[in-house]
Amino acid sequence: MTMIFGVPLAVFTGQLLLGLINGAFYALLSLGLAVIFGLLKIVNFAHGAMYMLGAFATLLGMRYLGINYWAALLLAPLAVGLAGMLIERLLLRRIGHLDHLYGLLLTFGLALIFEGTLVNFFGVSGARYPTPESLAGGYQLGFMFLPKYRAWVLLAAIGVCLFTWYMIERTRLGAYLRAGTENPALMQAFGVNVPLLVTLTYGFGVALAAFAGVLAAPLYPVSPTMGSNLLIVVFAVVVIGGMGSILGAIVTGLAMGLIEGLTKVYYPEAANTVIFLVMILVLLIRPTGLFGKEA
Amino acid sequence: MATTQTMTPSMKRERRANLRRNAFYLALIVIGLVAPFVAYPVFLMKVLCFALFACAFNLLLGYAGLLSFGHAAFLATGGYVTGYLLSSYPALTPELGILSGTAAAVALGAVFGALSIRRQGIYFAMVTLALAQLMFFFYIQAPFTGGEDGLHGVPRGELFGIISLRNSLVMYYFVFAIFLFGFALIQRTVHSPFGQVLKAIRENEPRAVSLGYNVDAYKLVAFILSAGLAGLAGSTKTLVFQLASLTDAHWHMSGEVILMTLLGGVGTLFGPVVGAGLVVSLQHLLAQSPLGNWVGPILGAIFVLCVLSFRSGIVGEAIKMYRKNFK
């Protein structure tokens, strides 16, 4: 059997794939955080809760309404996005003029509400969501076994990331968004409805999180706390990459997932913590983050 | 006396204000001394520990303008080090155990502080949160913390080798003394020239830099002081409950201390004390009611309400009202 630094090739590539998939989730979530931060200047602590709500909407939609996976892939982000727009209109807008730390605190409170409420109904041990039938099974590639669902998650996540990048960097709506990030007052003066743009941006950002949640439902146990633990890692990823660049968020997310996967192969004890250690290293060498601009 | 005759009206006013303040402090100390005869001492000790924790946190947020989302790490470090040392070395007296726990928190504060002040604002909050999570994972895996179970049955021992702390009343006065020490230290820091510079940094960092202050050094010292006092609170808490567990290291704890400070009043001396008293009482009451499972969402809702419409907190609002009506 082929060995890579003392590890069987199949184990090596398997862990690398798992790492890449984790990385795809980091990328999707940090992308949403970066989009929201760009325009609203707040760090959305409820992002993990939105990811969790996306997964729960998928699970409960199937259980009670008979909505299948493919419909959930569209409906769950839509529902969570609408809820996010409501949150922006009713709550976040009121504190828009204050120090941006208040935005972090408010969304933290929201995260506690969502998480705690669902814990009461569903407990902390997660529920299983079946893999959609058309994606069951996998491919034998010779050097590794590739489950179909994991390949799909990777493709879908990277596809959505690239789509978002295209939307923001290459379309008119994206140009508005980037202009609004630079100078919202001037945009308003040019006749662009900036408050609406802010609402839509927040809705889109949390919809990305919910989309990640739907993708995650068949992979990980669906539990109320699945989002918060992931979010803290994503925060570290965001500190590493900086929130200034869309492509930077995607690349950093995937890279951190890979590093985590490699650590799992060679030093599993540190797999939980390696991203935080990378963050410390980046703070020491390049405090503004890999893709960050001077604040 | 000659000096009293030459006193200007403003000096007289200041003197009266000082007298009033001292009388107020004295009254509070008397209340603290009588309290264990009125309320359950263990409950009061819990309040005092969290009040000290919140005061330490407030030193950073309220006076230096730094929002740490990772103060649980220091509370837990103090608790674990004290708990481990007192459990493994029976000869060690409790005050030395608490000192060691505090020292460990100071050391951790120096490292984390030096790292996190390299970023500002929102990034500072995320860095502290991530570093605290690093400690959480470390404490799950470390051999001396008892993992998921935590450390149980930490002996309270004999203070200075003479006074047994088994008795709750004796323990209470020890905790009260520690709290007073911590509070006095914070009070002195805030009103010292050092505290004034911190406030200047909070209000306008670039200007503080241009005035020639080494802003990073000031922030770091404030961070270490805050971490050390949080560790002191954690060490004391471990001694009171004879227990150190992962709950103290979880990010929920970092959020709770923010809530206590916000609810009581950020940047006021007594705000965190009031906030800690309220949050601990609320948890205590909810735990006994049918709403016991709803502590998390209820705290979350209070959080949202505080941020939306009660940002000065209880003490902050009270000060505003006092200034409006009595001055």
- Classify each residue of A93-132 as buried b or exposed e, where b means 16 or more C-beta atoms within 10 Å of its C-beta: eebbeeebbbbbbbbbbbbbbbbbbbbeebeeebeebebb
Residue B141 sits at the chain A interface (C-beta within 8 Å): yes
Question: What's the CA gap between A198 and A93, in Å, rounded?
Answer: 9
**CA within 13 Å, CB half, B198:** 26
Average pLDDT on A35-55 reads 91
Q: Which of A43, A95, A239 sits opposite B308 (nearest CB)?
A: A95
Please report the pLDDT score of residue A141 as a whole number. 79
Residue A122 sits at the chain B interface (C-beta within 8 Å): no
Mean of all residue pLDDT scores within chain B? 89
Please report the pLDDT score of residue B145 as a whole number. 83
pLDDT for A187-212, tens place per residue?
889 888 888 988 999 999 999 999 99
- Is the model's pLDDT at A124 over the cut of 90? no
Please report the pLDDT score of residue B149 as a whole number. 80
Three-state DSSP state, B166: coil
- Is the model's pLDDT at B246 over the cut of 60? yes
Q: Which of B120, B130, B293 sits opposite A120 (nearest CB)?
A: B293
pLDDT for B114-137, tens place per residue?
999 988 888 888 889 989 999 999
Q: Phi, psi at residue B213, to the nearest 5°?
A: -80, 140
The model's pTM is: 0.89
Among A280, A91, A223, residue whose Cα is nearest residue B128:
A280
Please report the pLDDT score of residue A293 as a whole number. 64
A10, A13, A19, A23: CA torsion to nearest 10: -150
Contact between B278 and B50 under an 8 Å Cβ cutoff? The reply is: no
Q: How many A×B Cβ pairs under 8 Å?
A: 116
Burial of A161 (0-12, 13-18, 19+ CB in 10 A): buried
Residue A290 sits at the chain B interface (C-beta within 8 Å): no
CB A95 to CB B141 under 8 A?
no
Question: What's the CA gap between B266 and B47, in Å, rounded?
Answer: 18
Test mutation, B304, B306, B310, chain A, max A CBs within 10 A: B304
CB B303 to CB A108 under 8 A?
yes
A260-269, B135-144, B178-187 — which one is most confidently predicted on average? Answer: B178-187
- Is the model's pLDDT at B293 over the cut of 90? no
Determine how many CB atoms are found less than 10 A away from the CB of residue B242.
Answer: 15
From chain A, the residues in CB contact with B308 under 8 A are: 91, 94-95, 106
Determine how many CB atoms are found less than 10 A away from the CB of residue A136.
Answer: 12
Residue B142 sits at the chain A interface (C-beta within 8 Å): no
Contact between A276 and B112 under an 8 Å Cβ cutoff? The reply is: no
* Residue of higher predicted confidence among A247 and A160: A160
DSSP B248: G
Question: What's the CA gap between B301 and B94, in Å, rounded?
Answer: 39
Contact between A31 and A208 under an 8 Å Cβ cutoff? The reply is: yes
Please report the pLDDT score of residue B4 as a whole number. 54
Among B138, B135, B123, residue whose Cα is nearest residue B74:
B135
CB B127 to CB A239 under 8 A?
yes
The packing angle between helices B271-288 and B295-309, to 10°, is: 150
Give the bridge partners for A3, in sequence order. A8
* Residue of higher predicted confidence among B291 and B95: B95
Alpha-carbon distances, residue B159 vs A201, B55, B155, B156 (angstroms) = 59, 25, 11, 8
Query: Which sign, positive or negative, has the C-alpha torsion B191, B192, B194, B200?
Result: positive
Residue B15 — very low, low, confident or very high, per pLDDT cuts 50/70/90? confident
- Is the model's pLDDT at A21 over the cut of 60? yes
Residue A111 sits at the chain B interface (C-beta within 8 Å): yes
Question: What's the CA gap between B138 and A16, in Å, rounded?
Answer: 24
Test mutation, B133, B258, B263, chain A, max A CBs within 10 A: B133
Work out the angle at residue A53's Cα, subtended by the Cα atoms of residues A102 and A150, and round it to the nearest 5 degrees: 120
Percentage of residues in chain B with pLDDT exceeding 70?
Answer: 98
Percentage of residues in chain A with pLDDT exceeding 90?
Answer: 41
pLDDT for B255-274, tens place per residue?
999 999 999 999 899 999 99
Q: Which residue of B has its CA nearest to A109?
A: B300
pLDDT for B148-175, tens place per residue?
788 888 888 777 877 777 888 888 999 9
From chain A, the residues in CB contact with B311 under 8 A are: 98, 102
- Is the model's pLDDT at B180 over the cut of 80? yes
- Tokens representing B100 are 């060691």
Residue A160 — very low, low, confident or very high, per pLDDT cuts 50/70/90? very high
Residue B327 — very low, low, confident or very high, per pLDDT cuts 50/70/90? low
**How far A219 CA lies from chain B's nearest CA (Å)?**
23
Return the minimum-mean-pLDDT range out of A68-72, A168-172, A260-264, B9-13: B9-13
Three-state DSSP state, B26: helix
Among A291, A287, A200, A278, residue whose Cα is nearest residue A246:
A291
CB B120 to CB A295 under 8 A?
yes
| Matching residue, tokens 């201390």 | B257
Mean of all residue pLDDT scores within chain A? 88
A63-77, A236-250, B10-24, B161-175 — which one is most confidently predicted on average? Answer: A63-77
Average pLDDT on B224-251 reads 92
Q: Which of A101, A119, A273 sits opposite B67 (nearest CB)?
A: A101
From chain B, the residues in CB contact with A279 under 8 A are: 127, 130
From chain A, the residues in CB contact with B126 under 8 A are: 43, 235-236, 238-239
CB B293 to CB A280 under 8 A?
no
From chain B, the residues in CB contact with A116 under 8 A are: 294-297, 299-300
Residue B40 sits at the chain A interface (C-beta within 8 Å): no
Please report the pLDDT score of residue A295 as a whole number. 47
Residue A236 sits at the chain B interface (C-beta within 8 Å): yes
- Helix-then-strand count for chain B, H and E: 15, 4
From chain B, the residues in CB contact with A95 under 8 A are: 307-308
CB within 8 Å of chain A, chain B residues 189-228 = none
* Residue of higher predicted confidence among A292 and B133: B133
Question: What's the CA gap between A264 and A160, in Å, rounded?
Answer: 27
Spell out the domains of chain A, with CATH numbers in brackets.
Answer: 11-118+125-285 (1.10.3470)
Contact between B243 and B192 under an 8 Å Cβ cutoff? The reply is: no
Alpha-carbon distances, residue A204 vs A23, A179, A208 (angstroms) = 20, 17, 6
Question: What's the CA gap between A84 and A95, in Å, rounded?
Answer: 16
SS (H, E, C) chain A: CCEECCEEHHHHHHHHHHHHHHHHHHHHHHHHHHHHHHHHCCCCCCHHHHHHHHHHHHHHHHHHHCCCHHHHHHHHHHHHHHHHHHHHHHCHHHHCCCCCHHHHHHHHHHHHHHHHHHHHHHCCCCECCCCCHHHCCEEECCCCEEEHHHHHHHHHHHHHHHHHHHHHHHCHHHHHHHHHHHCHHHHHHCCCCHHHHHHHHHHHHHHHHHHHHHHHCCCCCECCCHHHHHHHHHHHHHHHHCCCCHHHHHHHHHHHHHHHHHHHHHCHHHCCCHHHHHHHHHHHHCCCCCCCCCC
Please report the pLDDT score of residue B1 as a whole number. 47
pLDDT for A89-101, tens place per residue?
999 888 888 888 8
From chain B, the residues in CB contact with A295 under 8 A are: 119-121, 123
- Tokens representing B254 are 């970092």
Average pLDDT on A126-145 reads 81
CB B130 to CB A116 under 8 A?
no
Q: Phi, psi at residue B326, to the nearest 5°?
A: -115, 5
CB within 8 Å of chain A, chain B residues 62-91 = 67, 69
Radius of gyration of chain A (CA): 19
Q: Which of B122, B296, B306 sits opposite A112 (nearest CB)?
A: B296
CB B138 to CB A273 under 8 A?
yes
Residue A287 sits at the chain B interface (C-beta within 8 Å): yes
CB B138 to CB A120 under 8 A?
no
Question: What's the CA gap between A28 and A256, in Å, rounded?
Answer: 13
**Residues 6+ away with beta carbon under 8 Å from B310:** B263, B317
Please report the pLDDT score of residue B5 as a whole number. 62
Q: Which of B121, B131, B300 sits opposite A276 (nearest CB)?
A: B131
CB B67 to CB A106 under 8 A?
no
Contact between B255 and B160 under an 8 Å Cβ cutoff? The reply is: no
CB A228 to CB B118 under 8 A?
no
Please report the pLDDT score of residue B3 as a whole number. 53
Alpha-carbon distances, residue B270 vs B54, B58, B313 (angstroms) = 10, 10, 11
Please report the pLDDT score of residue B194 as a whole number. 92
CB A287 to CB B119 under 8 A?
yes
From chain A, the residues in CB contact with B121 under 8 A are: 100-101, 295
Q: Where are the alpha helices (DSSP H) in B150-213?
A: 168-191, 193-203, 205-210
- Tokens representing B111 are 């490292």
